[in-house]
Amino acid sequence: MKAKTRSLSTQLVLSLGIVLSVFTIAQAISSYDLARVGVNAVLDSRLSNVAQRVRDLFEDAIPRRSAGSSNADDLAVLVWEPDHERPARTTDSAVVFNRDAAPGFSDQIVNREAWRVYTMVAPDNDVIQVAQRTSVRQRMAEESAVRGLLPVFVLIPAVWLAVFVCVRRSFRVLNRLGLQARAIDPAHLVPLSARDLPVELMPFVCSINRMIQRLGESMRLERDFISDAAHELRTPLTALKLHADNLEGDIAHSNKERFQALRQTIDRSSLLVVQLLQLARADSQLVEIPTDAVEVTQVVTSVVADLLPIARVKGIDIGADELAPARVCATESDLRAVVKNLVDNALRYTPEGGSIDLSVFTVHDCVRIEVADTGPGIPEEALPRVFDRFFRVNHGIEGSGLGLSIVRAIVLRHGGTISLSNRRGGQPGLRAVVTFPLVGREPLGQSGSDACAGHAAYVHASRA
Ligand SMILES: Nc1ncnc2c1ncn2[C@@H]1O[C@H](COP(=O)(O)OP(=O)(O)O)[C@@H](O)[C@H]1O
Ligand SMILES: [Mg+2]
């Protein structure tokens, strides 16, 4: 089952957004209730104010006989004189409240309608009642409370946006570290930068940097060992070769074949030692990248010329599709080692009658060197391992398993990239693509290699 990838920033945005939204909604609900209670209190005080005004100033202004029912939103004012069954004055003859209600506020049902009534007894024992329909009051309270809610609808999206922006800003430093960590490989064991780092991340970055340091140290020891061992082996092997050369004349005819096998073994061992030394040199951080440029096409044509006799013997058609002029900062021997190993592999693993296409072109800031053959290719599951030292797929054909390790070490040390892929579209074969930064350009970062890879897909599709 595929492990679920959890994003810390998404989790933070979600949890903070939800918590803040819940608080905002709770706050909105409580202010909604407060607004309703507040409006009811204001309306109550309005009823009692009107009652006082009527008692003190305007009792005579209330008509003795109202023409009919007042407007639904209006207050109804009733004045009762002592010992009378009907109100002496009223603004709404359609309603009659309970005159015996206790002084103060009461809720009464009149004509199947709820009313809020304020009852006051005047000094002359007249009873003054001021009332308002409960439905009108509720509508006013509701309208006022809902007006108070409107800002919340703006506030909640604003809260989410603010949380999102803040979390993104805080995570920028992690993204930066991620990019730095991605650029670390055996050829670039650079410690992570601790500049502008939050204290919480310091222990983590320090541990990673210590680990990078230890890794670099152990890789250096391993390289030194390989280089020393290869050096030590070179002298006895050269002596062995000399002895064999001297002996050649004295070997009886019947032993010639076995003697040739012995010489071949010595040659293979010498080649292995040379490759080990090449690998140690290519891996070494101490070897400076030259500032002088070398012309790629020249190196490619010279390698092809060197290997042409082998191609002829195997009946392999070797040719160049496109050789664009391009210069890279590298020594000729390094560039030659890269091209030679790739073409040598293509020749070695492509069966008789096959073909090898080479091309050199520039894309964006890099030079692409492609070697495509019509051999068997490499099984997909073995592709990630072919750059490992001594890793070989086809044991039936002679080799050391060091060629691609040397190529990769040289390419990475020069800030380039390498990729191997099987050709598609029914055509068997392997396509090796190497990129180097063009003279005067930065080493190929992620974007640079992506840009080059994009072009590779196009070239691949157009030819396959
Ligand atoms: N062009 C190619 N076609 C098929 N297989 C290849 C090709 N290039 C490399 N390989 C496979 O990758 C392995 C590793 O290659 P390399 O490192 O050059 O070692 P070597 O060639 O000495 O075996 C080879 O053993 C071979 O199986
Ligand atoms: Mg090889």
Residues within 5 A (CB) of ion ligand 2: 345, 403
Ligand 1 centre and the CA of 303: distance in Å? 18
CATH 1.10.287.130 fits 199-282, yes or no: yes
Q: Please report the atom of ligand 1 found closest to the CA of residue 346.
A: 1
Provide the CA 436 distance to its chain's centre, in angstroms.
Answer: 26
Ligand 1 centre and the CA of 405: distance in Å? 10
Instruction: Name the residue at shortest CA distance from atom 8 of ligand 1.
Output: 345
Domain 288-463 in CATH: superfamily? Histidine kinase-like ATPase, C-terminal domain (3.30.565.10)
pLDDT of residue 392: 93
Q: Which of 215, 183, 208 is nearest to 194 (CA)?
A: 208
- Give the alpha-carbon dihedral of 61, 63, 67, 69, to 10 degrees: 80
Whole-angstrom Cα distance, residue 456 to residue 433? 8
Instruction: Name the residue at shortest CA distance from atom 7 of ligand 1.
Output: 345
What mean pLDDT is predicted for residues 99-120? 92
pLDDT of residue 123: 86
Ligand at minimal distance from the CA of 378 is 1
What mean pLDDT is predicted for residues 377-399? 91
pTM of the model: 0.61
What mean pLDDT is predicted for residues 343-349? 96
Instruction: Name the residue at shortest CA distance from atom 1 of ligand 1.
Output: 346
Do 347 and 358 form a contact (C-beta atoms < 8 A)?
no
Ligand 2 centre and the CA of 53: distance in Å? 109
Residues with Cβ within 8 Å of 296's Cβ and at least 6 positions away in sequence, in order, are: 326, 327, 328, 335, 360, 367, 369, 436
> What percent of the chain shows pLDDT beyond 70?
91
Ligand 2 centre and the CA of 402: distance in Å? 7
CA atoms within 13 A on the CB side of 346: 35
- Work out the burial of residue 430: count CB atoms within 10 Å of its CB; fewer than 13 is exposed, 13-18 middle, 19 or more buried: buried
Query: pLDDT band at residue 281, thresholds of 50, 70 and 90?
Result: confident
Sign of CA dihedral 32, 34, 38, 44: positive
Residues with Cβ within 8 Å of 319's Cβ and at least 6 positions away in sequence, in order, are: 355, 356, 357, 358
CA angle (372, 376, 377) in 5-degree steps: 55
User: pLDDT at residue 68 above 70?
Assistant: no
Q: Read off the DSSP letter of residue 82.
A: T
Burial 32-66 (b: 16+ CB within 10 A, else e): beebbeebbeebbeebeebbeebbeeebeebeeeb
Q: Please report the atom of ligand 1 found closest to the CA of residue 275.
A: 22
Instruction: Name the residue at shortest CA distance from atom 21 of ligand 1.
Output: 399
Q: Which residue has the higher pLDDT, 19 or 455?
A: 19
In 3-state terms, what secondary structure has residue 308? Answer: helix
Q: If you search the block for the tokens 């290997």, which residue do you land on?
A: 307
Ligand at minimal distance from the CA of 371 is 1
Residues enclosing ligand 1, CB less than 6 A?
A: 341, 345-346, 349, 373, 375-378, 386, 392-394, 399-405, 430
Q: What is the pLDDT of residues 226-252, one digit of tens each?
A: 889 999 999 999 999 999 999 988 889
Residue ranges per structural domain of the chain = 10-143, 199-282, 288-463
Residue among 276, 386, 398 to mutate when testing ligand 1 (max atoms within 8 A of CB): 386
Instruction: Name the residue at shortest CA distance from atom 13 of ligand 1.
Output: 392
What phi, psi does 23 have (nearest 5°)?
Answer: -60, -45
Same fold? 199-282, 288-463: no
Q: Please report the atom of ligand 1 found closest to the CA of residue 395.
A: 25
Q: Please report the atom of ligand 1 found closest to the CA of residue 350.
A: 3
Summary mean pLDDT of the chain: 87
Q: Please report the atom of ligand 1 found closest to the CA of residue 432.
A: 1
